[in-house]
Chains A and B, each alone.
Chain A
Amino acid sequence: MESNATQTPSNPKPRREKVAMNGVDVPTLFATINAVGEQPELAKFQFRATNKWVSGTHSRSRIEGFSGAGGEHEQTQDFVYDGDHPPVLCGKGNAPTPVEFLLHAIAGCITAGIGNVASARGVALESVECTVEGDLDVQGLLGLSDSVRNGYQALRLSYKIKGDADEETLRKIVAQSQARSAVYDVLTNGVPVSVEVDAA
């Protein structure tokens, strides 16, 4: 029977007390990192989505579940996202274009990381704002030029971050999040993509 209040930490170094902050459950965050460290087989995740054509350039994705930590996981609710092209590019504009989702993906990923890293470092955040711009020359995707790439030529993220830490600390938090961002990694380093077709 251990009284935790009087527990001597096994680690003699003074530890920063891990407390929930910025809406991040820091003790659980560290417990999760430790668990995966002890059991690397928990680290293998697979994310999945399905997509169905609706009409014209309009389609609908469902993101229903994923595997990881040795099991299948349901989402907390039904996540359904539409994609379309804008009228100026002959779509109906029912939803953002898929390339705009990439802007959402990279900003969402790095901002999530900022929330975690800041909380783990004990920095209370006041505000984090990001604007994302992506330059895209549509000559490529319209098939008008083979020398112009189909996708973005450049992405620019601009973060405004405020919190109870000095400028350098806040900059380091953003840099650390960028360094550990899955979307940043996949956009800058690429990933093998295979496309199978069943046309039966």
Chain B
Amino acid sequence: MKRTDTIIIGGGQAGLAMSRCLTEQGIDHVVLERGRVAERWRSERWDSLRLLSPKWHSRLPGFHYRGADPDGFMTMPEVIAYFEQYALSFSAPIQEETTVLSVKRAPEGGYFVRTNQYDWHAPTVVIATGHCDVPFVPAMAAKLPSDVRQLVPSRYKNPSQLPPGGVLVVGASASGIQLAREIHCSGRPVTLAVGRHTRMPRRYRGRDITWWLETSGMLDERADRAFDLQSARRQPSLQLVGTPDNETIDLGVLQAQGIRLVGRVSDVDGSRVTFCDDLKQNIDAAERKLDRVLGNIDRFIDETLMDADVRDRRPAIEVANAPRELELRRAGISSVLWATGYRRQYPWLKVPVLNIRGEIIHDGGVTAAPGLYALGLNFLRTRKSSFIDGVGNDARVLAEHISQRFDRISIAA
């Protein structure tokens, strides 16, 4: 049994940020990583993917991008190198290739963490396994015939994996719109099923949208003041893509390129897929959200008398009548890509802190179990908690919490 003060589970952005903050606090700790540093960025991302926000927007405690292209978008090899450099910069105590098998309360206090390498005990555990844990695929996927190829974005690398023929992409958030376009450009006709989504232009009034969201304070919106936090935490990713020429991909662009838009998938019955009659409604809802966000930016510009280009909102998206039903074989569709988001699973967590959906119950990352913390989840403390650029602030606050806890324990002793 090895002992330390804090065990961090996960060696991604959240785990490394926490490791850096605990290092500053002088708290002995270890980062348990089931693969290598930034494993999901290595093995669960497609080849052409770049980060959705610019390189400058990747500030971590004690580290930031120093290269010559702050407004560009990191490729996956760049992201991996970035996190490797971060880990090296403070000699993060990472145990790679270490899979956590269980986390249990120890009778004497603190937690037992069993892994496939060593067993650990620590008074404090930080769960930093990330928001994009396991792909969520609706149960109806099981009803598709076996000759339809099914895929999730974390297994997709490039269009050559797909059989010839049409592709149904389900989900129109960042992954769905990017993959719809890439697959369409490979010569496979794409149908895109559009549910709740958040339309966002790459640039607005002369600057990258990230800059506006950051500077106007929208990304700092606090979880404890959110109107409906449960729903905010399930918010889909922004319809954004990072490309060298600052492209915007929205449903209008995709439609103009020949991608067929349909409503949310309502059911699957063998080769027959039915769609809700909600395409226009979903698109209109996204237009209203976009108006609110751009309105906030306009107000911010007016209030601060900031220099900005004229308003350049892209026109609202008009859609034609969408089919309510497709017979996949007859429509020549041979694969379905479920870009339907992610879900968290903690089968190894033997501490009663999960809600009925299996999500960790926490208040700003602090759970009801003494010494057990969560970090890196969507809207953990602020709207940017699950962003590379946002996790650092949360890590600082929780590291302070952990440090004060140790102060109390040592006073009590």
Which residue numbers of A lie inside 8 Å of B, CB to CB? 1-8, 10, 27-28, 31-32, 35-36, 42, 69-76
Contact = CB atoms under 8 A, between A and B. Distances in A.
Interface of B: 104-105, 198, 200, 213, 218, 221, 225-232, 235, 238, 285, 288-289, 292-293, 296, 347, 350-352, 354-358, 361, 368-369, 383
Given A8-B288, A28-B230, A31-B230, A3 B355 contact: no
Contacts of B238: 1
Contacts of A74: 104-105, 350-352
A165 to B, nearest CB: 26
B53 to A, nearest CB: 12
A7 B358 contact: no
Given A2-B198, A27-B230, A76 B352 contact: yes
A72 B229 CA distance: 26
A32 B359 CA distance: 11
A72 B346 CA distance: 11
Given A35-B356, A70-B358, A74-B352, A1 B232 contact: no
A4 B226 contact: yes
B292 A2 contact: yes
B355 A73 contact: no
B291 to A, nearest CB: 10
Nearest to A25: B361
B352 A69 contact: no
A71 B352 contact: no
Given A1-B293, A1-B383, A3-B218, A75 B352 contact: yes
Nearest to A75: B352
A10 B282 CA distance: 11
A37 B351 CA distance: 25
A2 B351 contact: no
B356 A36 contact: yes
B361 to A, nearest CB: 8
B198 A1 contact: yes
Contacts of A72: 350
A71 B352 CA distance: 11
Contacts of B347: 71
A35 B198 contact: no
Counting from the closest, the 7 A-B pairs by CB-CB distance are A4-B227, A32-B356, A69-B356, A31-B230, A74-B352, A35-B356, A1-B293
Nearest to A70: B358
Nearest to A68: B356
B136 to A, nearest CB: 12
B354 A3 contact: no
A172 to B, nearest CB: 26
Given A2-B292, A3-B218, A73-B352, A35 B200 contact: no
A36 B357 CA distance: 8
A7 B218 CA distance: 14
Contacts of A76: 352, 368-369
Nearest to B221: A3
Contacts of A35: 355-357
Contacts of A6: 292
Contact of B355 (A1, A5, A32, A75): A32
B354 A73 contact: yes
A8 B230 CA distance: 16
Contacts of A36: 356
A42 B235 CA distance: 22
A157 B217 CA distance: 55
Nearest to A76: B352
A31 to B, nearest CB: 5
Nearest to A41: B139
A2 B235 contact: yes
Nearest to A38: B357
A1 B213 contact: yes
Given A35-B356, A36-B356, A71-B354, A1 B228 contact: no
A58 to B, nearest CB: 24
Q: Which of A4, A31, A42, A76 has the most CB of B within 10 A?
A: A4
24 contacts: A1-B198, A1-B218, A1-B238, A2-B293, A3-B218, A3-B221, A3-B292, A4-B221, A4-B228, A4-B232, A6-B292, A28-B361, A31-B355, A31-B356, A31-B357, A42-B357, A69-B356, A71-B358, A72-B350, A73-B352, A74-B351, A76-B352, A76-B368, A76-B369
Contacts of B200: 1
Given A74-B352, A75-B352, 9 more contacts: A1-B200, A3-B218, A5-B225, A28-B361, A31-B230, A42-B356, A42-B357, A69-B358, A70-B358
B355 A28 contact: yes
A183 B16 CA distance: 49
